[in-house]
Chains A and B, each alone.
Chain A
Amino acid sequence: MRIPARRWSQVLSVLVANPWFAYFGTRAIYQGKAKGLCFPGFNCYACPLALFSCPIGALQQSAALLSPKTKVLAATQGAFGAIKQHASYPVGALLYVIGFIGLVGVVTGRLVCGWFCPFGFLQDLLYKIPTPKLGLPQWMRFGKYFALVVVAMLIPYLTGVHWYSRLCPAGALEGAIPLKVLPPTTPLPATGWFFWFKIAILVGFLAWMVVTKRPFCRTACALGGAYAALAPFSLYRMRVDSAKCTRCGDCRASCPVDINIYENANSPECVRCLTCKTVCPEAAVTSGFGRRAGEAIFEKGSGPAA
C-alpha cells in the first residue's frame, strides 16, 4: 500500500512538534528557548512532549496579559500570578504572534491545516473509521471566526483568563490527559469538575470526527479561522482550469473538508491538502505561487456550465 506524501508530512509534523521524549525520564515540562517559537499547526504546548508554543495559546495569553483584570488575578494566584506579573507588558508578544500567524496565512493560506497540523491529522484518521457519515451545515463554518475573535482574543482580554485553552479539545488530549497520567515533578492543581467538562468536550469532538469530515477545523479551530481569513489573499494559489473541468465531482468526494474546488478555487474552507489535484481525471486542478500567463482560471461563481 502506497502512503501519500501528505500522510508522511503529517506524521513528521507530529514528531517535529512533539520530540521531547526526555520528559519520560525527567518528568519536567520543556521550558527552553524553542518554546518561544510558535508551531504553525494546532499542537498544545501543554503536551509533555511539546517543543514549541501553540500560536493560539500564545495569542490569547498575550491578550489576557493586556487585560486590566490581569493584575487583580496576579495578586491572587500565587506562583502563576508571579509569572504573569513578570510578563505584564505583552505588546511585543502580541505583535510577534499576530505577525507569525499572519505571515504563515498570507504565504500559504491553509496549507498548514492540510499538511502539518497534528490535530487535523487525527481528524483525517478518525474519519476513516467505517460508519454512517454526516455533513455539516454551512452556517457552522462561522464558528471558527467566532472562536478566533471572541473566545481566543476578546474574552481573554476582558477576563484576563485564556478560555480557549481551557475549553480546547486538543489541550485536553495532548496536555491534560498526559499530564494526569504521567504528572510532572512540578505540583499541579487538583482535578475538579472542570477537568471532566473539558474531557466531555474532547469526547464529543472525537465522536463527531468519526462521522463528519474535520469538524473541529471547520467549526471551532481559531488557528484555522485566522488562516481561512487570509486564504483568499494568500500567495499560494489553487487554480481550476475551466477548459478541462467537467464537474465530475471526484474532487468533492475526496475532499477532507467537503468543498467543490471548482466553485471557488481559493475558498477559505480549503485546507490545500491537494488531494483534488491527485484525483482529478482531467488534471484541471493546479496550484502554486503566482498566476501562470494564459491559463484559464475559475474565480468564485465562474465555473463551467454543468
Chain B
Amino acid sequence: MAGRLRRMRAPYVLLVVFVVMLLTGLILGGFGKVLVNGIVICLDCIGLI
C-alpha cells in the first residue's frame, strides 16, 4: 500500500499539501495565534484542579 502510494508520487503531493497549509496558516495569522496559545499553555499547565 505504502509502496503503491510512493510510486504514485504521494510524498511530493503531501509535500505540496503541507507547504500550502503552512503558508495559508501564516497568511491567516496562525503564527500569532500559536504565540498566544503558547502563552495560554505556559500559564495553565500546573496546579490544574
Contacts and interface: CB of A to CB of B under 8 A. Distances in A.
Contacts of A33: 35
Nearest to B40: A83
Contact of B39 (A31, A102, A235): A31
DSSP class of B's interface residues: helix, strand, loop or mixed?
helix
B37 A57 contact: yes
Nearest to B44: A80
Interface residues of B, number: 41
Interface stretch (A5-13, A122-130, A171-179, A242-250): A171-179
Interface string A84-99: 1011001111111111
A37 to B, nearest CB: 8
Contacts of B18: 98-99, 102-103, 106
Nearest to A91: B28
Interface string B10-49: 1100110111111111111111111111111111111111
A93 B15 contact: no
Interface stretch (A200-208, A215-223, A226-234): A226-234
A35 B35 contact: yes
A35 B21 contact: no
B28 A36 contact: no
B46 A35 contact: no
Contact of B33 (A31, A92, A300): A92
Contact of B15 (A103, A176, A192, A232): A103
A36 B38 contact: yes
A95 B36 contact: no
Interface of B: 2-3, 5-6, 10-11, 14-15, 17-49
